[in-house]
Structure 1
Amino acid sequence: MSASTSSRAGVGSLRPGGPRGLVNQVSKRPQPERHNEVGIQTSSFGGIEGMFDFTGPVSEGSDWTYRLTGLGKNMGSQIDREQERQLMLAPSLTWAPTDQTQLTLYGYYQKDRPKDFNPRFYPAIGTLIDNSFGQIPRELYLGDPNASIFERNFYTLGYEFSHEFNDTWSVRQNLRYGRASQNMFLALVNPAFAYRPDGHTLNRASAVSDDWLTSFNVDTQLEARFDTGALDHTALFGIDVLRADSSTNFGNGTVGVPPLDYLDPVYGTAPIPVPAIQRSGLQKQRQVGFYAQDQIRYDNWVGTVGLRYDLSDIDTQNRLAPDRSTVSNDDREVTWRAGLSYLFDNGIAPYVSYSTAFLPALGASRSGMPFEAQRAEQYEIGVKFEPPGGWGMITVSLFDLTLENGLTPDPASSLYSVQTGKQRVRGLELEGKYEISPEFDVLASYAYSDSEVVQSTNAAARGREMLRSPEHQGSAWINYRPSAIEGLSLSAGVRMTSSYQTDATYRDDLRIPSRALVDIGAAYDFDALHKSFEGTKFRVNVTNLFDEEYVSHCLNITGGSCNYGAGRAVTASLNYAW
């Protein structure tokens, strides 16, 4: 939805989703002021990336503005042989004949064609668990050039329209059509039987898939701003329509796939046959949501109450079944939320909120049964502090979230998911930014999460922590702009995560250890040297400065499907804007 606010109790679309909030990714849109920028980037892994971003009025005094952004990438990665190759283009055009009317047409296209894509399926022994022959190198390519197809395409087309009839009434409509497709044929480590008897030769399998997803979404809102006595109202009424179709074809096998000795890897020794399709499904989702919301202001009080009713129908067809049987899930759900905050004149704003959520889940289990809709509720209380003068901001919140029908990896196969009965997480979140002086500012955040699987179809999970849910997470970042060197800025930070479990069988030896990673950066604005360099900036960033080697997750009951985290990477970019 286009209407949103940083407060969780703010005006929004009441779209169904997780009650802890969504990341609001806002695409670049045309701007009335002309601005152009080009840039190049490279990294310590080699390769180059180029970008451009042009925006402004179509002509002087025109009602039309445009924006065109693009990116081309051919970059190395921490995996030997692997090359990240991507092309992206995003045009948009805005017509604003009056201050009350605006129409934006936009598109987005992205094509990914990585070279020698490496599936991140490392065995636990040799990565998370010690191997007497030595650990598997983090940079080792586990695939094979004879099975190295990975193609992904994504595009969207749509518009955003808004019109203000008068000071009270306005209307908005957002429409988008999107299609994503992925085609792959790869060789990867066989997680079920990772090692041969010698202890350092890895069995491999092949995998093939041909998937696509299309979605059509149109959201229409009517907004009214009015007063009733001392109360100021911002009321929102809307209807949200979604149609989505997805197709999945997947197969894997071991016949004809040569093993790989990680002490002496040899590639391309034999043709690899394409395995037969073993899973083929088609899902059709039809969903309509009706919602209403009122944000009420009285003096320094701000309250929000919202209600939504969803009708969701999902048909799942097993195309490999003799009768191509179809199973239907029909859900009808009412969700609501309410929030209240008080805005003190000194910048302190305490708040309290409650919300329920409903999210139909696409996909099917290993047995081919469609997933049930996920449901959740959350209580939250907190305070925000943004003092006058804008030298910083601090947010503190306590939350209690309960989720039903959450998806977790299938203990029998990491290629599938299962739905647990009920999960709960309670915690504390702290976030702050403080400007110590014109030269220094600090950003820091911390999150404490006490999670538990209350009910589950997986007996090993009951009473245990939720998967991929660290108890402690935190980060701190400092920016320094030395007054003695105009144009220079330096930064450094640390990211910390406590240990957590990612294996559905809760094996202690597959628990991910805690880690702390250090990042640094530097930037220089050449405008400080001479006005002729205005708009030219150079930046260098180093992530994981000390090149800590760590495993980010393990997902398979047999101890396979582990993945290394990102090692040290140095990136350098040069941008010019005018």
Structure 2
Amino acid sequence: MIRLFFLVGLWLFSTNTLLAKATTEDGGTIQGKIITADGNPAANVTVVLKEITKGVTTNESGEFRFKNVPNGKYQLEVSLIGFETITKEVEIVNNKPVSVQIEITQSSQKLEEVVVTSGGNRFAKKESDDVSKLSLKNIENPQVYSVVGKELMKEQLITDYNAAFKNIPGAGIPIVYNQGRSTAISRGFTTANLVRNGVGGFIYTSIDPANLERIEVIKGPSATLFGSTLASFGGLFNRVTKKPFETFKGEVSYSGASWDLNRITLDVNTPLNQEKTALFRFNGAVHSERSFQDAGFSKNFLLAPSLSYKVNDKLTLLLDIEMSGYKATSPTRVTTYTKGVAKSVEELGMPYKLSFANNTIAYTSQQLNVFGQVKYKLSESWTSQTVFSRTRSSSDGYVVGLTILSDSTLRQAVTSQEYPYYGTNIQQNFKGDFYIGNMRNRVVIGADFYNLQSSRNDATINMPAINFKKPGAAYNNFTVEKVSPQFATATFVNYTRVRDNTYSAYVSDVINVTDQLLAMASLRVDYYQARGAYYPANDSTAGAFNQTALSPKFGLVYQVVKNQVSLFANYMNGFENLSGTDYNGNTFKPQQANQWEAGIKLDALNNKLNATLSYYDISVTNMLRDDPDHTNFSLQDGTQLSKGFEAEVIANPIPGLNVVAGYAYNESKYDKANKSIEGLRPASAGPDKMANLWISYRFVKGNAKGLGFAFGGNYGSESYQTNTQAFVFTIPSYTVLDASVFYDRSAFRIGLKVDNLTNEKYWSNRLAAQNPTRVTANLTYKF
């Protein structure tokens, strides 16, 4: 495969050279970049070459280009609705290219507001400094990623973090665990929410979306730049929080919905001094709702201040904090009966609106996340970025699990728990942008320390079996008064469960071999130190081990049409540290995932069409399977395969009309594993076919300006809750449709949304019944 990459690169280079020679020099090139007053790229700005009445629109990086312009002097006219037009004179001599940079007087935040109201491709803002840890445009990046921005979340009246994942191709229905933490699917692998602002932000509890600028979904094994502790073999989810900007702005919002949902959010931003070097932003939320089922509730608050300070032209400091608290009942978790008649959740026949829970049996959680960043400009070519992230999340109280005992009975199991988790991530990056000869190099060199520690203090008691089809009076016996006395004689487990350190170093270089051909080469070395679980009762430690792993990454991008159409291919690696030894005492190696992927990216028609289509093939090796010759031992020769096709299209075909569409097909199987699962699709891989759609139209002119309508939905094929040679339990396919209407003006926004229009019954992988038809109303005042 390395030889193939070399041959493809050589062919692309040769083709590019021949094309360059074959092109006649009919004129010069005028290219440039438009930036805002706060130094960010200005997208969707119109640039006109007045003398020849030719116009273009800047891309997401604020860049524009005019080709084959005859020699002479010209006036560049930069304009955007609501802003004063800027004119700049340029001259082409002897067909030589001209580069310019123009600054508009407004901030990026103000510019974004104008793009929204003027009908641009407002959901296609994919440029990111976190995905590659470099300032790399999406069309230059050989990796696939999706972005769910705050504008799309606002339009869909997202009040729950997990609801935003309906916009991500292949994510499926998120799984919500006992304490409110959640995972989704990425390329057939369960993927947790462990990354915040590009570094470790471990959250063991629920996440409130009020402080989210965007969610970045990075596809494929991503250990090279993020490490094995943060990324699954399918990718990772990066939560990007809202940051301060240079103008005063704010909004207060109220949402009310079915099942007594009441939610208030506040977002206020202000400069703290006249020079606008000190900036402050505060986001907050208060939220409460109950379940559509007979029992179940959630109450929470969020406080999220952030402060940035520009010490001078070289040094900038940022401090970002999130604090939240929850009180809630635990989500539904059902363990199936493997010897029963029922082979699907529909056949099981559990009443859809019964929770088999009680509001007195609840838990509380707290979360604190502190993020600090120091940026220092070392020179024109090099920048230093130092990041510190500290997290604490805890969950205390009762959680409930349901175990099916027969085709008509279940048992409620209650766990009394105390789970505090502590995470620390310190990261140092040096980023360079320089030329070696005619080749541009964009480089990141980094070192990373990550520590995760947690404790455990819990016990579980089992309640008497009840008939879940006709529970009768026994249904009312499940209360905290009946449950809590049983823990007086229960056996509690008390130990420090996780004490892990990871020390890493990495380097990544993106080289412009030519103006249109880019190559990426990256490598990470990772030293993992598991100090084992400490049992204070015995003053003993078990499970300690150390491992070292290398994770390479390579990519090629050829821009068939500069900044508009690119072909890409990548090789990516991920790994997972494994403890233990085989029968002969050999220490297990890290489990490895290797991905090969190729596809096409579009950012065409003046940013009206943004699309990514790709095919990937992931092979996982060094998996453990039972040793058939030695009981209680494992062999490390297991393999798992995951391959498929993904497509995402974000379009703005006419002013005011925006479309977000995605499709994912995934084929996963245990290729070499225990006989009970060999050749089968993992139940955790979710549906093999999934699709998402959101179509939105907003009037951009006339008396109805700001009025909009939207319609969308999600589809998932049949999937498995359990899939073994001995027992198969399926979850049916689903099609869920949503619609909304909104009116968005400069001073206020009104929205109304109906989720699950057809009242579809559908379930998560844990057999948690999902919401039936729900109506949400929102009123937002802007100032």
TM-score in same-fold range (> 0.5): yes
Q: In the alignment, does 2:450 pair up with 1:239? A: no
Q: How does 1:170-181 map to 2 (within 5 A)?
A: 170-181=383-394
Deviation of 1:315 after TM superposition, in Å, equals: 2.1
| 1:499-536 deviations in Å (ceiling 9; x for gaps) | 122315366651112111111111112x3xxxxxx421
The answer to whether the 8 Å contact 1:349/1:384 transfers is yes
2:307 aligned with 1:98, yes or no? no
1:107–1:362 Cα change, 3 Å: farther
Deviation digits for residues 198-226 of structure 1 (CA, Å, limit 9, x no counterpart): x4x64323222211111111100112222
Aligned to 1:512: 731
Matches of residues 260-409 of structure 1 in structure 2 within 5 Å? Answer: 262-263=471-472, 265-267=475-477, 271-272=482-483, 273-274=486-487, 275-278=490-493, 280-297=495-512, 298-317=514-533, 319=535, 322=538, 324-345=540-561, 347-360=564-577, 373-404=590-621
Assess, with a 3 A threshold, how the Cα gap between structure 1 residues 382 and 407 changes in structure 2: closer, same or farther: farther
CA 1:18/1:305 → structure 2, altered by over 3 Å: closer, same or farther? Answer: farther
- Show CA shifts across 1:405-454 (max 9, x none): 6799xxxxxxxxxx993321111111112323224332211111111111
Alignment match, 2:641: 424
* 1:236 Cα deviation after fit: 1.5
Determine whether 1:543 maps to 2:752: no
Contact map agreement 1:18 1:376 (CA 8 A) in 2: no
Whole-Å Cα distance in 2 between the matches of residues 82 and 471 of structure 1? 31
Structure 1 residues 157 and 440, CA, compared in 2 at 3 Å: closer, same or farther? Answer: closer
Amino acid across the alignment from 1:462: E
- Structure 2 counterpart SS, 1:389: coil
* Kept after mapping to 1: 8 A contact 2:445/2:508: yes
For 2:565 and 2:516, locate their aligned partners in 1 and report how far apart those are by CA, in whole Å. 11
| CA shift in 2, pair 1:188/1:453, >3 Å | closer
SS of the equivalent of 1:468 reads helix
Find the counterpart in structure 1 of residue 684 from structure 2. 468
- Report the identity percentage: 21
Question: Which residue matches 2:706?
Answer: 487
Taking the aligned partners of 1:62 and 1:523, their CA distance within structure 2 comes to: 34
Unaligned stretches of 5+ in structure 1?
A: 364-369, 409-418, 528-533, 555-561
Query: How far does residue 353 in structure 1 lie from its aligned partner after superposition?
Result: 0.7
Which residue of structure 2 lines up, in the alignment, with residue 81 of structure 1?
Answer: 295
Name the aligned partner's letter for residue 276 of structure 1.
Answer: T
Higher helix fraction (1 or 2) = 2
Q: Distance in 2 between matches of 1:361 and 1:151?
A: 32
CA separation in 2, counterparts of 1:336 and 1:509? 38
Q: 1:163 aligns with which of 365, 376, 382?
A: 376
Equivalent in 416, 425, 432 of residue 208 of structure 1: 416
Which structure has more strand as a fraction of its residues?
Answer: 1
Q: Give the aligned partner of residue 557 of structure 1.
A: none
From the superposition, tell whether residues 406 and 209 of structure 1 become closer, same or farther in structure 2 (CA, over 3 Å): farther
Spell out, residue by residue over 1:84-140, the C-alpha distance to the aligned partner (whole angstroms, 9 max, x if none): 1011111111011333321101211111112x5454337676981436xxx333221
Match of 1:60 in 2: 274
Please tell me whether the aligned partners of residues 314 and 329 of structure 1 are also in contact (alpha carbons under 8 angstroms). yes
The offset of 1:302, in angstroms, is 1.5
8 Å contact from structure 1 (residues 294, 305) kept in 2: yes
Amino acid at match of 1:480: Y
Whole-angstrom distance in 2 between the partners of 1:546 and 1:420: 47
Task: Write the distance in 1 (CA, Å) between the matches of 2:659 and 2:371.
Answer: 39
Q: 1:433 aligns with which of 650, 659, 669?
A: 650
Which of 378, 398, 412 aligns to 1:185? It is: 398
3-state SS, counterpart of residue 236 of structure 2 = coil
Deviation at 1:466, TM superposition (A): 2.3
Q: Which residue of the partner structure matches residue 218 of structure 2?
A: none
Aligned partner letter, 2:441: H
> What amino acid is the match of 1:107?
I
Residue 111 in structure 1 maps to residue 316 in structure 2: no
Q: Distance in 2 between matches of 1:186 and 1:386?
A: 47
- Secondary structure of the residue that 1:266 maps to in structure 2? helix
Q: Decide whether the 8 Å contact of 2:565 with 2:604 is kept in 1.
A: yes
Q: Cα distance 1:373–1:567, how it changes in 2: closer, same or farther (>3 A)?
A: farther
Contact 2:420–2:455 (CA under 8 A) maintained in structure 1: yes
Question: How many Å separate the matches in 2 of 1:397 and 1:151?
Answer: 43
- Aligned to 2:240, the other structure's residue is in SS state coil
1:397, CA displacement in angstroms?
0.4
Sort the Cα spacing of 1:448 and 1:406 in 2 relative to 1 into closer, same or farther, 3 A: farther
Q: Does 1:14 align with 2:225?
A: yes
Q: Which residue of 2 aligns with 1:367?
A: none
Cα 1:323–1:36 shift into 2, 3 Å = closer
Kindly indicate whether the alpha-carbon contact (under 8 Å) linking 1:329 and 1:372 is maintained by their aligned counterparts in 2. no
TM-score, normalisation: structure 2 = 0.64
Q: Are 1:248 and 1:281, in contact at CA under 8 Å, matched by a contact in 2? A: yes
Matched position secondary structure for 2:676:
helix
After alignment, is 338-347 or 152-161 more displaced? 338-347
SS at match of 1:553: coil
d(CA) in 2 for partners of 1:92, 1:541 = 31
Question: 1: CA distance between counterparts of 2:659 and 2:641?
Answer: 32
Aligned length: 538
- Partners of 1:20 and 1:9 in 2: CA distance: 16
Where do 5+ consecutive residues of structure 2 fail to align? 1-128, 145-197, 199-223, 581-586, 626-635
Contact 1:144 1:186 in 2 (8 A): no
Q: Offset of 1:19 from its aligned partner? A: 5.6
CA shift at 1:31, angstroms?
A: 0.9
1:39–1:51 Cα contact (<8 Å) kept: yes
CA contact (8 A) 2:366 2:393 kept: yes
Q: 1:563 to 1:268 in 2, by over 3 A?
A: closer
Change in CA separation of 1:35 and 1:487 when aligned onto 2, cut-off 3 Å: same
Cα distance change, pair 358–371 in 1 and its aligned pair in 2 (3 A): same
Q: Matched residue of 1:130: which SS?
A: helix
The CA deviation string for residues 458-507 of structure 1, in whole angstroms up to 9 with x for no partner, is 43211111223222111222112356733211111121111122315366
Deviation of 1:10 after TM superposition, in Å, equals 7.0
Once residues 230 and 397 of structure 1 are traced to their aligned partners in structure 2, the CA distance between those partners, rounded to angstroms, is: 31
| Residue 24 of structure 1, CA deviation | 2.7
